Amino acid sequence: MWKHEELGTRISDKRIEQALETEVKTVLTACPFCLLMLEDALLLKGLADKVKIRDIAEVVNQSLF
């Protein structure tokens, strides 16, 4: 689960780059592992304040109340 890519670009870095190209403010995921990896990618790039990574269940829960 925690093995990082040894060759090439990390998938999470690539996905964050793609998200930044679209100028989104929030990225949703249903996968806890993806949530951690995407948050980590943002932190490593110093962009944690630019995009939020959230679980879909979190967003659904907030919309109910």
Q: Is residue 3 pLDDT above 80, yes or no?
A: no
pLDDT of residue 1: 52
**pTM for this prediction:** 0.78
> Which whole number is the average pLDDT over 23-33?
92
Q: Name the percent of the chain lying above pLDDT 90.
A: 62
In 3D space, the residue among 46, 43, 52, 49 whose CA is nearest the CA of residue 19 turns out to be 52
Q: Phi, psi at residue 30, to the nearest 5°?
A: -105, 0
